[in-house]
Amino acid sequence: MSDKIHQLIEKLRENFVKKSDALLAEKSNNQLVNAKLIELKAQIEVLESENTALKVRIDDFKKQENEVEEEFILQTQQTTMVSDEHIDELVKEIDYCIGQLKK
C-alpha cells in the first residue's frame, strides 16, 4: 500500500510541476501581452495627437480657402462694378454720338 501512496504522491507532484510550469509560462505570456498593450496604447496616443494636429491644419486650410474665396469675390465685384463717374462719362459719350448721328 505504501508503494501506491508513493506513486500517487509522485503523480500529484508531476501534475503540480506541470501546472506550475504552465502557470509560469502563462504569466510570462501575460507580461509580454501587457508590454505590447502598453506599446500599442502609446502608439494610439501618438496617432491621436497627430490626428488632432491634422484636424487643426485642415481647419486652418478651410479658413484660408474661405478668405481667398471672399477676397476673390470682392475683387471680382470691384472690377465688374462700374462707378457712377464712369456711367456719367458713358452717357455723355452716347449723347454725343446720338448728336453726331442727327447731324
pLDDT at position 90 is 86
| Residue 102 confidence class, pLDDT cut points 50, 70, 90 | confident
Each residue's pLDDT tens digit, 75-85? 877 666 667 77
Can you tell me the distance from the alpha carbon of 35 to that of 19, in angstroms, rounded to the nearest whole number?
24
C-alpha cell at 54: 491634422
Q: What is the pLDDT of residue 1?
A: 66
What pTM was estimated for this model as a whole?
0.56
Predicted pLDDT of residue 81: 65
Tens-digit pLDDT profile for residues 41-64: 999 999 999 999 999 999 999 999
Residue 9 belongs to what domain range?
2-102
Torsion of CA 92, 98, 101, 103, to 10 degrees: -80
* Total domains in the fold of the chain: 1
